[in-house]
């Protein structure tokens, strides 16, 4: 069965665009049931509308707490028949309200090789720190900030001449490729979170492809 996805965005939605393109050309066995943005001016909303995907704008400013906002998002996702949630440039820290509704079915794409440079503007953090290698990470979401179990990563060399914008452009291409690949693994039932060992972080196992 195809993955029934809900995609949460706050901005231009380039990772959403990569998902929609992969679904349209048959590279990803999924259906985007709903795109939710906390900002009415998010460019990704037009990408969704162009693909005939339903959209909802749910402003966090209309709710008294993060939990109340997440409750409204959960209601919209459930009404749309969503089973898996993708945070694709969603600039909000989600709460146990959302995570509990979609237990171990919320995935995020982050523009750094976690655990390095969590949080906002990881590209600028990498350039300022002077690293020679950066990259992107797809991970399950937990209550922390970019601390959930890592599913996959992809590396990018950082050139001495790079600034935040040039590194971000190269990372985006990797993000699009990696996110679609991981969602394909999920659709094939190949991604599992292993039972945690005492005192250890939870880890992800990706099973081999059949054949």
| Model confidence, pTM | 0.95
Domains of the chain: 1-103 (3.40.50.170), 110-138+154-211 (3.40.50.170)
Binned at pLDDT 50, 70 and 90, residue 197 comes out as confident
Q: What gap in Å lies between CA 75 and CA 70, rounded to an integer? A: 9
Binned at pLDDT 50, 70 and 90, residue 28 comes out as very high
In tens, the pLDDT along 138-162 reads 999 999 999 999 999 999 999 999 9
Return the pLDDT at 47. Answer: 97
Collapsing DSSP to helix, strand or coil, 122 comes out as helix
What residues act catalytically? 110
Nearest of 150, 12, 181 to residue 91 by alpha carbon: 12
Q: What gap in Å lies between CA 86 and CA 89, rounded to an integer? A: 9
> Would you call 208 exposed, middle or buried from its count of C-beta atoms within 10 A (0-12, 13-18, 19+)?
exposed
């Amino acid at each position: 069965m195809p993955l029934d996805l809900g995609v949460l965005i706050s901005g231009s939605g380039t990772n959403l665009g990569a998902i929609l393109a992969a679904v349209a050309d048959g590279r990803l066995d999924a259906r985007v049931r709903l795109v939710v943005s906390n900002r009415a001016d998010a460019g990704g909303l037009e990408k969704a509308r162009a693909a005939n995907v339903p959209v909802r704008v749910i402003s966090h400013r209309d709710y008294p707490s993060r939990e109340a906002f997440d409750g409204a998002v959960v209601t919209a996702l459930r009404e749309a028949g969503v089973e898996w949630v993708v945070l694709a440039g969603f600039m909000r820290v989600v709460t146990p309200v959302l995570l509990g509704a979609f237990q171990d079915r919320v995935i995020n794409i982050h523009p750094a090789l976690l655990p390095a440079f969590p949080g906002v503007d990881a590209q600028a953090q990498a350039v300022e720190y002077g690293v020679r290698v950066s990259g992107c990470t797809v991970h399950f979401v937990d209550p922390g900030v970019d601390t959930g179990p890592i599913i996959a990563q992809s590396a990018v060399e950082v050139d001495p001449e790079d600034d935040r914008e040039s590194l971000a452009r190269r990372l985006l291409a990797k993000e699009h490729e990696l996110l679609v690949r991981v969602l394909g693994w999920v659709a094939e039932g190949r991604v599992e979170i292993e039972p945690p060992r005492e005192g250890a972080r939870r880890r992800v196992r990706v099973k081999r492809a059949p054949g």
